[in-house]
Amino acid sequence: MDIQRVQVSSLVFDDKLVEIRPINPVFVSRYRQAMRQGAKFPRPIVEKKTLILSSGNHRVTAYLEEYGPDHLIDVEVRTYASQRERFRDAAEENAKCGNPLDGISQRRFANELLKLGDTAEDISRLFDVSVKRIEEWCGHTVIVTGGGKKNEVMPIKRGPKIEGGKVTREQYEQHIEHDRGMPASPLANQLSRWLDNGWIKAEDEKSVEALRELSDKINTFFAGLKKKVKV
């Protein structure tokens, strides 16, 4: 094992890996608290020549915020034959760490590895799931357009039925950041139960305003359905 001592500011975040698995400030805050209490963390893993991070984005962010750019840490240095090999290593390391990959991050990794030449069988072994599950992950995608970038095929969470299979980059980012991975029916059923049970209070102004806006959009939706039926 090749270990080097480096300043945290010399480590390089991979934009694509951060896109696949965005840095969660909640986990960064937890890591910082643990650091203050003397907790020891696994060494971040970096590519030898470039010091690009394969694993440890949250830990390194916590080090930067807690101790500053000149702080020295030990990193594990690895050599990769290709970007595909580095991304496989990143997926494997992130899948087994203390902050494991969520569903959409797994889908993003699977989608990216397919682009780099992996097969569904390769990826199924990596994540220890069935080939069918990988095919489901990589079949549930949209084309993300605009935002000053080339169009990209990207995975989405379960639920939305997107006509034409295209979304803007702003819509995609909102979906990934805010949406729950479930169809509309269980979300609507949950709200109905809460209203029936009196679990949404009139004094909860934020919820009431959100329900009022939702009601307007639902009325608009059903008005559009009536027009379609008449045609």
* CATH code, 72: 3.90.1530
Is the domain of 118 the same as that of 220?
no
Domain-embedded: residue 179:
no
Is the domain of 132 the same as that of 42?
yes
Is the domain of 60 the same as that of 122?
yes
Domain end (from 124, 139, 154): 139
pLDDT at residue 149, rounded to an integer: 84
Question: Are 94 and 61 contacting, i.e. CB atoms less than 8 angstroms apart?
Answer: no
Is the domain of 188 the same as that of 103?
no
Is the domain of 193 the same as that of 134?
no
What are 97-111's pLDDT values in tens digits? 667 788 888 888 998
pTM above 0.75, yes or no: no
The Cα–Cα gap between 110 and 127 comes to: 9
Is the domain of 7 the same as that of 81?
yes
Is the domain of 127 the same as that of 20?
yes
Question: Are 75 and 3 contacting, i.e. CB atoms less than 8 angstroms apart?
Answer: yes
Question: Are 45 and 56 contacting, i.e. CB atoms less than 8 angstroms apart?
Answer: yes
Domain-embedded: residue 148:
no
Is the domain of 20 the same as that of 83?
yes
Torsions phi, psi of 173, nearest 5?
-65, -40
Domain-embedded: residue 73:
yes
Place 94 in a pLDDT band, splitting at 50, 70 and 90.
Answer: confident
- Full domain range(s) for residue 217: 184-230
Amino acid at 196: D
Is the domain of 192 the same as that of 110?
no
Is the domain of 112 the same as that of 199?
no
Is the domain of 125 the same as that of 194?
no
Q: Which two tokens stand for residue 48?
A: 């030898």
What are 24-78's pLDDT values in tens digits? 999 999 999 999 999 999 999 999 999 999 999 999 999 999 999 999 999 999 9
- Give the β-pairing of 53-55 and 141-145: unpaired
Is the domain of 112 the same as that of 210?
no
Domain-embedded: residue 200:
yes
